[in-house]
Amino acid sequence: MPQYELIPLFPLSLVLLPGMPLPLHIFEERYKEMIGDVMPVDGEFGVVRAKDNGIVNIGCTARVERVVRQYPDGRLDLLAVGQRRFRIVALDEEKSYLRAEVEFFNDDDAREVPAELGQRAARAYRVLAELEEPGSTPEEPKFELNRMSFRLAQFMADLDKRQTVLALRSEIERLEFLVRVTPEYTAQRQRVMLAKRVGPLNGHVAGSLK
């Protein structure tokens, strides 16, 4: 029988991925309590995407790496990091914060990434890194531990695409998906960035009217 584990849940308007840094400002009382419960035991809490109609059922746990700042009123600035993927089996509302029985999962397909796919993924990585961090020199992508896809997907602001990557149980499938959607995503982002640059100029007249 599957083994389920009861963990705290933190619904947020984002998709956390394994290995992804997650800066948090904790100010609500229920989440102060949650962090107070998990930190002394070096525990994990589950981050799930919050939507208008509820929460999605696949998420990723996070573990607090360090407390950046503690305020006199109990608020906290934290840095957490994504850990393990899970599927929600049942919700539990006995505490002030939401908890869930979850089933952790790993990849079903452990095949090595083909060289040709790896090269295409590396190109996509460099394109997305330059798009999100212009002028920077991105580190060379590494394909060990079947986590390159999660690193690549961090550059994508599209939460639906991130959620797809989180749910897929094959590194090959994740990289194939990301390589396939990167050109359209990149073009869309470039249009948005251009519109932001050009928008403020619209309606302005150069010089003065005599």
Report the distance separating Cα 146 and Cα 18, nearest Å: 11
Helix H or strand E encompassing 173: helix 171-198
Asked if residue 203 belongs to a domain, the reply is no
Q: How confident is the model at residue 208 (pLDDT cuts 50, 70, 90)?
A: very low
| pLDDT higher than 50, residue 210 | no
pLDDT at 3: 81
Contacts for 23 with CB less than 8 Å, ≥ 6 apart: 68, 77, 78, 79, 80
One domain, residues 52 and 124: no
Asked if residue 110 belongs to a domain, the reply is no
Residue 39: C-alpha distances to residues 47, 66, 132, 166, 175 (Å)? 15, 10, 32, 25, 34
| pLDDT higher than 70, residue 145 | no
Q: Are strands 54-55 and 76-92 parallel, antiparallel or unpaired?
A: unpaired
One domain, residues 166 and 99: no
One domain, residues 99 and 120: no
Domain count, the chain: 2
Average pLDDT over residues 47-70: 96
Asked if residue 206 belongs to a domain, the reply is no
Name the residue range of residue 190's domain: 115-198
Last residue of a domain, one of 82, 104, 126: 104
| pLDDT higher than 70, residue 136 | no
Stated pTM of the model = 0.87
Q: Where are the alpha helices (DSSP H) in 9-114?
A: 29-38
**22: CATH:** 2.30.130.40
| pLDDT higher than 70, residue 199 | no
Centre a 10 Å sphere on the Cβ of residue 15 and count the other Cβ atoms it contains.
27
